[in-house]
Structure 1
Amino acid sequence: MSQLVAHSWRERWAWAFYDWANSAFVTTVVVALFPVFLRNYWAQDLPSEQITFHWGNTNSIASLIITVLAPFLGAIADRSGKKKGLLASFMLLGAVATFSLAFIGENQWQLALFAFALAFIGFLGGNIFYDSLLVDVAEEPAFNRVSALGYGLGYLGGGLFLVLSILLSLHPEWFGLADKATGVKVAFALTAVWWAIFSIPLFLYVRERPVARTQQSLPSLLAQAGRDLIDVFKKIRQHRAVALFLLAYFFYIDGVDTIVIMAVDYGQSLGLPSDSLIQAILITQFTAFPAALLFGWIGTRYNAKAGILIGILGYVLIVLGATQMQTATHFYWLACSVGLFQGGIQALSRSYFATLIPVEQAAKFFGFYNMLGKFAAIFGPMLVGWAGLVLGSSRMGLLVLLILFVLGGLILMLVPRSQDV
C-alpha cells in the first residue's frame, strides 16, 4: 500500500513540474523579454503605435487559433487516450519555436512575431492536455491540493528563471557574453531548454487512465466535439447565474490578461528604461501568489463575488493610474498593484464559478469556462493595438480597457447569490 501511495505522489509531482517547466516561457518570453526586444531590436525602425499594433494582433491571432481548436483537440485526446502524445507535440512546437528566437536577426520583426506565435500556440495548446491529465494523477478529493501544487511550482519556477533571464539581459558580461542582445538571445534559448527538460518527468512517470478506444474517424471525432460543445452551451442557457457570470468573466478577464500581455510594451512606448520594466515583472511574479491567499480569505470572510468586485475596481484604478505614469517608480507601483489583484481575481473567479454550477456536471462546465478564458484573450490586445493606432497614443489606447472592466463589473453585480439560484 505504501508503495502505491509513493508512486502516486511521484506521478503528481511529475505532473506539477510541467507547470514549473512552461511558466518560464510566460514570464521570460511573453511578459518580460520579448516585448522589450521586439521594440528595441527586431522592430526598432517601426513607429511605436505600429509595434503595439503588431504585438497585440499576434497575441490575439495565436489565442484565436487555439480557441477554435481547443474543443476538438480535447475530444480527440479523450477518445484516443493520447493526451501525453498530444502534449508532447505542442510542447515541442513551443520549445523549438522559442529556441529559434535566438537566431533571428536585427530588424526581422515579421519573422520574430511568426516564431512567437508558433511558440504561444504550443504553450496554449499544451495546456489543454496538461490540465486534462489532472484526473489521471489524482482522485477528486486531492484535486485541489495537486492543482495548487502545480500553480505553486509554476510561480516559483517562472520567477526563478526570470531572475536568471534578467541577469543575462542586464549583465551579459557576468556570463562572458558580448552584449545585452546576445544575453537576451541566450535567455530565449535557455527558456526552450528549461521547458523541454523539466517536461520529461511528466512523460516518464504520469500514466494515463485506460480508455475504451473507438475506431472513430477524425471527422467523426470532430463532429462529436461539436455536439458536446452545443450540449454544454444549451445547459448554460438554462442556468441564469452561470450565464451571467460567464458573460461578466469574459469581459473582466480579458482586461486582466491584456494588462499582463501589454504592460511591458506600454511602458516601452512611454520611453521608460527597459531594465526597470523587466525588473518590475519580478514584483508582479512574487506578489501574485500571496495576494491570491489574501483574496481567498476575503472570499471566505465575506464572499467571493465581493472579492472579485474589489479586484475589478482595483484594475480600473490601475488603468487610470497607468495613463498618468511617467517614471520607472510609477511602473514599480503598477507592477505591485497588478500582482496584488491578478492573483486574487483569478483565484476567486474559479471558486465563485464552482458555487454556481451543478456539481454533477462540473467537468463540462469548467471546460467551457477555460475555453472562454482563452477566447477572451483574443480581443483585449487587439483593442488596445487598434485604439492606440487610431488615436495616435498608447495612453489613450489603454483607456479602452475601462470598457471591459466596467461591463464585467456591472454584469457581475446582476449574478444572483448562489443560494438564490
Structure 2
Amino acid sequence: MLKGLSMKGIAHPASNVSVKQREKRERRLPRMDDKKKIKAWVWYDWANSAFATTIMAAVMPIYFISVAGGTDGSWSFTQTAAALVVALLSPLMGAIADHTGKKVAFLRVFSIIGSVASVCMAFVGAGDMWLASILVVTGMVGFGAGNTFYDALLNDITSPAKRESVSARGYAMGYLGGGVLLAVNLALILGWETFGLPDKTAASQISFITVGTWWFVFSLPLFRRINDPQLANKGKAWEYVKAGAGRLGETFSRLKHYPELLKYMVAYWFFFDGINTIIVMAASYGTTIGIKDSDLITALLITQFIGFPATLLFGKMADKLGSKKMLYSSLVTYLIIVILGYFMTNALHFYMLAGLVGLVQGGSQATSRAIFSKMIPRGRTAEFNGFLSFTSRFFSFGGPLVFGIVKLISDSSRSALLAVALFFIVGILLLRLVNLEKAEREALQ
C-alpha cells in the first residue's frame, strides 16, 4: 500500500519538497487510510492489553507467589527469561516477515500462542511454580513478539501524516481494554463469595481464562480486515530463516546510511529505559515506602483509565503541535514524576503520580512509535521494529541496575528513584540532535 504512496505522493529524497508539503499531499489521499483496517488494528491493542494488566502487572505476580509457590526472585528470573527470548526472536522474525510479506500471519501465530498460554494458566495449582514459569514465558513471548509485527503494520494501514493519531488510538484502546478487564477480574477475585466461587484461587484461574478468550476474540477483526500481500518469496522454512538472517545482517551494515534513525534509536534506548524502570519498579518502590497492595492496584487502575482519554488527546496535539514537541513534553513530565516521587509519603501522593503517568505514558509510547515508523526504510518495517525491540530490551537493564546500585550504596529507595532522572535527561539531550525531516528523507533513499 505504501509503495504506491511513495511513488505518487512522496517526493524523491533528492527533491526540494519538504516533509510538511508531503504530509499535506497525503492528507488529500484518504484512500491510503482505510478506516476499517485502522479500526481493526486499533482493536488489537484492546485485545492484548488484557494480558499486560492482568497477567503481567496485577494478578499473576501475586498468584505466582501465593499459590504456585514461587518467590520474588523466581518471578524476576521468569521475567528475564521471557525478555531474553523475545529480544532474540524479534529481529530475526521481523526480517523473515519482511522477506515473506507475512506480518499478519506471524502476528496471528504469536497471538494464538499468547492467548492459549493465558488460558492454560488456569491449570496452575499449588506448588506448580515451574509450570507457571513456562506458561508466563510462553505468554510473554506471544505478547512481545506479536507486538513487533503489530507495530510494523502501522506503516501498512495509514499514511505518515496520520500515524501519530492512529498510533495514539491504539495505545488509548489498550489502556481502556486492559483496564476494563482488569477491573472485572479484580471484582471477581475480591468478591469471589458473591459469585459463588470456592475461593480466590478459583477466581484467579477464571481471570486467566478471560484474558486468553478476550485476547483471541478481539484479535479477530484485525485478522479478518488486514491481509498480507501476495508476494513471490516462497520456499522452505530453513530458506526463510537463512534469508531473514541475511536481511538482519544487512540491517547492521545499513545503519550507517541512516544516521538520524541511529541517533533517534540511541535517544530512545535512554528514555525507554527510564519509562520502563518506572513501570517495573513502581510497585516495589511503593511497597518499600509503605503503600498498601490495595492502593497499588487502585493506582494501576487510575493509570489505565486516565491513560485512555489522555492518549487520544496526546495524539491530536502531536498532529497539531508536532510529534517531537509532544515527546519532549512527556519526557519532561516524567522528570517531574521522578522528582515528586522522591518526596512521596502516602497513598494519595501515589494516586496523584499514577494520574500523571496516565497523562503521558501512552502518549509518549504512541508518539515515539509513530516517529520511528517514518524513519524506517521501505520494505523493512517488521525487521527494523524487531531490531528496535531487541536493542531497547537489551539496554533496558540499565535503569533497574542503576536503581539497584544506588539503593545498595545509599540504602535509600528515594535516592535510587531520583537517579532514574538521568535517563530522561540524557534521552532529551540526544533527542535534540535528531532531525526528523532529514530522517524521513533518508528512509526514502
Q: Is the 8 A contact 1:58 1:113 kept in 2?
A: yes
- Alignment counterpart, residue 392 of structure 2, candidates 350, 363, 376: 376
CA distance in structure 1 between the partners assigned to 2:314 and 2:161 by the alignment: 22
Q: CA deviation at 1:326?
A: 3.5
User: Are 1:165 and 2:185 counterparts?
Assistant: yes
Q: Which amino acid aligns with 2:218?
A: F
In the other structure, the counterpart of 2:53 is 27
CA distance in structure 2 between the partners assigned to 1:381 and 1:182 by the alignment: 35
Q: Is the 8 A contact 2:92 2:386 kept in 1?
A: no
Q: 1:173 to 1:371 in 2, by over 3 A?
A: farther
Q: Which amino acid aligns with 1:25?
A: F
Aligned residues: 404
Q: 1:71 to 1:248 in 2, by over 3 A?
A: same
Cα deviation per residue 1:182-239 (whole Å; 9 max; x = unaligned)?
Answer: 3223212211121123233444554332111333x44443333233334344443234
Q: Which amino acid aligns with 2:267?
A: A
CA distance in structure 2 between the partners assigned to 1:402 and 1:108 by the alignment: 39
User: Are 1:334 and 2:334 counterparts?
Assistant: no
Q: CA deviation at 1:164?
A: 0.6
In the other structure, the counterpart of 1:178 is 198
- Alignment counterpart, residue 408 of structure 1, candidates 421, 424, 427: 427
Cα deviation per residue 1:265-306 (whole Å; 9 max; x = unaligned)?
Answer: 443454432222112212111222333344446546655434
In the other structure, the counterpart of 1:96 is 116
Cα deviation per residue 1:124-144 (whole Å; 9 max; x = unaligned)?
Answer: 1222334445566x4648974
Unaligned runs of 5+ in 1: none
In the other structure, the counterpart of 1:317 is 336
Partner SS for 2:428: helix
User: Are 1:155 and 2:175 counterparts?
Assistant: yes
In the other structure, the counterpart of 1:231 is 250
Q: Which amino acid aligns with 1:192?
A: G
CA distance in structure 2 between the partners assigned to 1:365 and 1:68 by the alignment: 17
Q: CA deviation at 1:333?
A: 1.4
Q: CA deviation at 1:26?
A: 1.2
Q: 1:310 to 1:199 in 2, by over 3 A?
A: closer
In the other structure, the counterpart of 2:241 is 222
Q: Is the 8 A contact 1:315 1:338 kept in 2?
A: yes
Q: Is the 8 A contact 2:46 2:170 kept in 1?
A: yes
Q: Is the 8 A contact 2:43 2:219 kept in 1?
A: yes
Partner SS for 2:194: helix
Unaligned runs of 5+ in 2: 1-30
- Alignment counterpart, residue 58 of structure 1, candidates 63, 71, 78: 78
Q: Is the 8 A contact 2:113 2:138 kept in 1?
A: yes
Q: Is the 8 A contact 1:57 1:382 kept in 2?
A: no
Q: 1:419 to 1:20 in 2, by over 3 A?
A: closer
Q: Which amino acid aligns with 2:145?
A: G
Superposition pairs for residues 125-144 of structure 1, below 5 Å? 125-133=145-153, 138=157, 140=159, 144=163
Instruction: Tell me the TM-score normalised to structure 1 length.
Output: 0.80
Q: Which amino acid aligns with 2:362?
A: G
CA distance in structure 2 between the partners assigned to 1:200 and 1:126 by the alignment: 14
With 402-411 and 187-196 compared, the bigger mean Cα shift is at 402-411
Q: CA deviation at 1:397?
A: 5.0
Q: CA deviation at 1:249?
A: 0.6
Q: 1:306 to 1:253 in 2, by over 3 A?
A: same
Partner SS for 2:84: helix
Q: Is the 8 A contact 1:384 1:398 kept in 2?
A: no
In the other structure, the counterpart of 2:293 is 274
- Alignment counterpart, residue 273 of structure 2, candidates 239, 243, 254: 254
Q: CA deviation at 1:98?
A: 1.8
